[in-house]
Structure 1
Amino acid sequence: MGMVFAARRLSGAELATVLADPDTVGTLFQGGPDELDLDKAWHGLHYLVTGTTYEIRGDAGPAIVGGEPIGPDLGMGPARLLMPDAVRTVAAGLDAVDDATLRARFDPEAMSEAEIYPHIWDDGDDEFDGYLLPYFTALRDFYHDAAASGDAVLLAVT
């Protein structure tokens, strides 16, 4: 199956529950309208947004690998929590990244050399238009909606 990414919006009440009992984090990823599934595109998107393999740079940098660890190990470590202020900052940062900038950063050879998961970048430009760009749009929309609602966000790679 591989390493897949999920994010979940948390209302104020859900955030209070998670902060009071971090063990509940694992029960929250059930699919549904408050979740985002980036499948295996997460690492490629992080690379395109930040220009790094795992470093967090810029306002959009925490979108995928940011946040504070919370709760039990979900497969690739614990989930990470972004509080509402951080969600608003990430949303603004993602809004500032346009498709042309991402396309300019898409370098299959460099991504393969940097071992960007899922190691499919030698397959060609279709990986940008048919895979990464639609997931980036979903990521940007997810954070925009979460910020507009004042939600926190849980991030997990499982």
Structure 2
Amino acid sequence: MGLIANYSCLSDVNLKELKAMGSEEEEILESVEEWNDDDELLLDIDKMWDVLHFMLTGVGTDHKDDKNPLSQAVLGVMAVEAISDYVAYTEHNHLANIVAALDQFDIESALESFDMKACKEAELYPNIWDYEEEEEEIKDEIFHDFEQMKRFYKQVLEANGHVLVSIC
């Protein structure tokens, strides 16, 4: 197992409920799991969230940039504090900027300069950077996850929803 990133569409009601929970970790994590199970708009990028953030921003997720919509796409805008797993949300009013930034990002050019050694030096999760024979598969997975993320954010924007990010 490992840390897996899931993105789901959050309704106004569920967002309000999440905000009202404060730091009740068990309640938050149970609700997140329930909402993810019930949601038809769900994106699972498995363990590639850190390297995707690196491809989009040039830094790993340890360096979240609250002003960069590409960083927000991976990590959300508002992190829920004081819980052990990573949970964050992005309200609808931020989604158009994220969609525009994802649309403008040239993933193919970024992948041309993809470097397994740079990922290892940046200590990106997961620790797979010594498997150079799998580089093409990893690049294909990053491309696929990026395209799925673009599609997901567009769908949530059109549905007038919010985005819930969980990395557990």
Deviation at 1:111, TM superposition (A): 0.5
What is the SS of the residue equivalent to 1:116?
coil
User: Which residue is equivalent to 1:66?
Assistant: 76
* 1:91 to 2:99 alignment: yes
What is the SS of the residue equivalent to 1:103?
helix
Q: Name whichever structure is richer in helix by fraction.
A: 2
Counterpart pick for 1:126 among 125, 136, 141: 136
Deviation at 1:32, TM superposition (A): 4.5
**Structure 2 Cα separation of the partners of residues 97 and 122 of structure 1:** 27
What is the SS of the residue equivalent to 1:110?
helix
Gaps of 5+ in 2: none
**Structure 1 Cα separation of the partners of residues 158 and 145 of structure 2:** 20
What is the SS of the residue equivalent to 2:130?
helix
Deviation at 1:21, TM superposition (A): 4.1
Gaps of 5+ in 1: none
Distance 1:47 1:127, change over 3 A: farther
User: Which residue is equivalent to 2:110?
Assistant: 102
**Structure 1 Cα separation of the partners of residues 149 and 104 of structure 2:** 13
1:50-99 Cα deviation digits (max 9, x unpaired): 100122263212111232123873x524x101111112211111111123
* 1:135 to 2:145 alignment: yes
Counterpart pick for 2:41 among 34, 44, 50: 34
RMSD of the TM alignment (CA)? Answer: 2.2
Tell me if structure 1 keeps the 8 A contact 2:76–2:164. no
Task: State the one-letter code of the partner of 1:48.
Answer: M
**Count of aligned positions:** 156
**Structure 2 Cα separation of the partners of residues 103 and 42 of structure 1:** 15
**Structure 1 Cα separation of the partners of residues 101 and 138 of structure 2:** 20
Task: State the one-letter code of the partner of 2:19.
Answer: L
Q: Percent identity between the aligned chains?
A: 24
Counterpart pick for 1:76 among 75, 79, 85: 85
Deviation at 1:121, TM superposition (A): 2.5
Tell me if structure 2 keeps the 8 A contact 1:45–1:132. yes
TM-score, normalised to structure 1, is: 0.85
Distance 1:15 1:76, change over 3 A: closer
Task: State the one-letter code of the partner of 1:9.
Answer: C
**Structure 2 Cα separation of the partners of residues 76 and 52 of structure 1:** 21
